[in-house]
Amino acid sequence: MSSSQNSRRFDRAAVLIVFALCGTPFGAASVLAQQRGVTVVALPVDERTRAADQEEEEAERAQRNPANGHFEIAMENFDIWVYGQQGGGQGFAQRLDALLRLRIEEIDRVCGLSELQKKKLLLAGKGDLKRFNDRVDELRVKFEKVRFDQEKFNNIWQEIGPVQTQVQQGLFGRGSFFQKAVRPALKPEQLEKYDGVEGRRMAYRYKARVELWIASTENTVPLTAEQREKLRALILSETTPPAAFGQYDTYFVAYAVSKIDEKKLEPLFDETQWKVLKIIINQGRGMEQFLKQNGMIDGDFEPPVTPGITQ
C-alpha cells in the first residue's frame, strides 16, 4: 500500500486506530491522536496481533487472486481427500497398526513364524507407517500454502492422487517395506506355504472381479448362460490378476480382456454382440496409462496363466 493510501486511511473521521503501547504511555498516545481528531482504542497485544495478521492474510489472498479474492479451500478437506471415508487422525493410525498386526498374524498362521521373524515384519511395517505419515505431513504443509491460490492449488492434485491410491490399495502391499521384507524373512519351507496361500487368495479375488465385469458388460451385451461361462473361463485362462487391487479392479479386467487374441474372443458371440463388445474392448485398451498411474500394471502387460485360478 502506498503512503498516499495510508494518509487517506488515517484522515477519515471514522477511522479506528490501534496503538501499540510498547514503551509509549497510553495518555501520551491519546493526546497525540486527539490532536489529529482520531478516535483511539487500546486493544490487548494479542488482539492487535490477530487483527494485523488477519488483515495481512486477506491482502495476500486478494493479491494472489485479484479476480477472485474469495477462493479458499478449507483445511478439513485435506483429510477427506487423502483418507476418504476412512477419516484421518489418530483413529486412522490405530486402524493401520491393527491391520499390520493382523497381516503378521495371517502369515504366522500359515508359516509358523518365530518371534524374531515377527519383529522383523513389524519393524518393516512400522517403516511403511512412518513413510506414509511423513508424506502426508509434507503434503499438508503444501496444501496450507496453496489453498488460497486457485492456480497453484490445481497442481497439488498430482501429489495427492498417489497418496489416495495408497490408502485405497493398502500400505503393506506391493512396493512396501513390509512386502519386501516378507520373502527374505521366511525359510524355504515357509516361503512355499506362503506363496501357495497368496496365489490362491489373489486368484479368488480376481475371479470375483472378472465375474463382476461380465455382469456389468451384460447391461450392454446380454449373454446366454453358455456364453457367460465360456467368457469367464477364457478371461481366467488368458489373463492374470493386477499388480495391486483397488477401486479400479473392473477397469483392469476390461484392459486385460483387450489383450486377449480376438480370434479366441469373437467365436463366442454372434455378429451383433461382437460389434458392441468390440467398442467395450477398445475402451479397455485405452486405460493402460491410467492403470499404470494407479499401480495396477507395471511395465509391459503380459498375460501368462497364473497357477491356482479355478475356472
| Residues 294, 165 contacting (CB under 8 angstroms) | yes
Instruction: Tell me: pLDDT of 268 over 90.
Output: yes
DSSP track, 120-187: HHHHHHHHHHHHHHHHHHHHHHHHHHHTT-HHHHHHHHHHHHHHHHHHHH-TTSTTSHHHHHHHHHS-
Listed in sequence order, the residues at least 6 apart from 264 whose beta carbon sits closer than 8 Å to its beta carbon are 234, 238
Query: Dihedrals φ, ψ of 18, to 5°?
Result: -105, 115
User: Please, is 38 exposed, middle or buried when counting C-beta atoms within 10 Å of its C-beta (0-12, 13-18, 19+)?
Assistant: middle
* Greatest mean pLDDT range, 40-49, 58-67, 199-208, 241-250: 199-208
pLDDT in tens, 42-83: 444 455 555 556 656 555 554 454 444 567 888 878 888 888
Return the pLDDT at 309: 42
**Average per-residue pLDDT for the chain:** 78
Name the amino acid, one letter, at 253.
V
Query: What are the boundaries of each domain within the chain?
Result: 3-64, 78-185, 192-293
Beta bridge partners of 16: 39
DSSP state of 86: G
Q: Which of 1-10, 168-177, 185-194, 226-235 has the lowest mean pLDDT?
A: 1-10
φ, ψ of residue 17 in degrees (nearest 5) = -110, 135
Of the CA atoms within 13 Å of residue 65, those in its CB half-sphere come to 16
pLDDT of residue 1: 52
Give one DSSP letter per residue of 25-67, joined into a string: -HHHHHHHHHHTT-EEE---HHHHHHHHHHHHHHHHHHHH-TT
The residue with cell 488515517 is 10
pLDDT digits (tens, 9 = 90+) for 112-167: 999 999 999 999 999 999 999 999 999 999 888 888 887 777 778 778 888 887 88
Is the pLDDT higher at 29 or at 219? Answer: 219
